[in-house]
Structure 1
């Protein structure tokens, strides 16, 4: 039996965008919810109109849903980390929070928005072993004082190891599902198959469940991810080296800017539409035209 990687656009949306029970299980396992806050029912919300291309803003795939209490949940898989991603997550969560109210409605109708972000990259290297990061609005000096509304969770998948939080069984099982299964997997761990929800999610990854066209798109997804990551990392290193060689204190910032431009230049040569390049590099249309 051959399985596909659950982190790809095609598979992630197949598992979590088509099976309410599975996305509910994921949310209950990975979000900081009290026992009386468990998600028991959801409805899917329309995904924002974005280009159907894995290059969009570093290949984000997402699922949006709302439960019977009115709470909104945003679930995203981020394949390549960039510093701008946190701002994008905050922007999207804030937008989802604001959009709950129509003109003239009362603020007390607002329900919390939870943003769960699974990152297939390490972005907090100095926090060794800590892969789970939970942000919310708290009083700086009295952290028990909280302004409810936005809950942002980031999970660094490469840092996860099964023994980190052994007491949180479902959290461990879902993270093992996301980190241990890929194209090389031939035998699924018994611990995953023993759980009905995880077994269902595993079955959804069987290669035989996808058409030839879908499989071709799956392979293309990973090809683009590989090219984009190589271009971005290589360009960033060269740009940073140039800034340091010139002795500038702002070398890192300039290096990152140079990296974005080089990525855009290569994508432009490859015939990628300008709109996609803008979303992948944060460059303006004019800047791209001048390259």
Structure 2
């Protein structure tokens, strides 16, 4: 049996965008939610149009949903990282928060928005932590905060389950995302011991996809490689132009 990579556009959206009970299990395991504030039910929301990042247009896979309390969750798989992603994430979450006023006439009725970004590259090379949680806090008294927006970034390449003493379910879901690669034949046995993750693993079986779907799967990887190459080329051109400008000014 061959398995597909869960980070691909096709598989990620099938698992977390079509199975609310799997998405709920995943979010409850990785989000900083208090035990008495866990997600009980989820409904999916239509994706909103957001500004595309130049060059890297297909590197983001997202799922949007809302729970029984009205809290919104934006889940993004980011295959490549640029600093502009941070601005996009803030814009996206803020837009989701503000759009609640279409239905709520009072500000006090607005519910929190959680933006979860799963990043397939390291973007904080000087930090050893893979989990980054941001919220609006009082600088001198961090325990005092303004409710509304929270941002969670997870650097997948830094995740090493063997070195962690985290929550078991969080570890298993992150192992699911990081240790199953395209064409894998074997699945870590501990993933099959948890019912929801075992179900997600079965969804990755290549035999359950049509020829057209597998072509879409391959096309996504091709687009990732092409856009990554374009990004590196643009980055190199910027570096060369910068050096040339500096040389001219020096002259």
- TM-score by structure 1 length? 0.80
**Structure 1 equivalent of residue 105 of structure 2:** 105
Q: Which moved further from structure 2: 145-154 or 229-238?
A: 229-238
For residue 147 of structure 1, what is the aligned residue in structure 2?
146
Structure 2 residue 62 is the aligned partner of structure 1 residue 62: yes
Aligned residues: 244
1:118 aligns with 2:124: no
> Counterpart in 2 of 1:32?
32
Q: 1:144 to 1:247 in 2, by over 3 A?
A: same
Larger RCO (CA under 8 A, 6+ residues apart): 2
Structure 1 position 50, deviation (Å): 7.5
- The equivalent residue for 1:190 is 189
Question: What whole-Å deviation, never above 9, does each CA across 1:4-48 have from its counterpart, x for those lacking one?
Answer: 110011000000001111100110111001100111111111112
Partner of 2:47: 47
Deviation string 1:112-151 (CA, Å, 9 cap, x unpaired) is 1111110111111111x21111111111221111001101
Structure 1: gaps of 5 or more residues: 249-291
Q: 1 CA distance for matches of 2:104 and 2:44? A: 26
1:52-100 Cα distance to aligned partner (Å, 9 max, x none): xxx8734211111111011111101111111111111111111111111
Q: When the two structures are superposed, what TM-score results if normalisation uses the length of structure 2?
A: 0.92
Q: Are the equivalent residues in 2 in contact too, given 1:123–1:156 (CA < 8 A)?
A: yes
Superposition RMSD in Å:
1.8
Q: Which consecutive unaligned segments of at least 5 residues does structure 2 have? A: none
CA contact (8 A) 1:58 1:80 kept: no
Partner of 2:161: 162
CA distance in 1: counterparts of 2:243 and 2:8, whole angstroms: 36
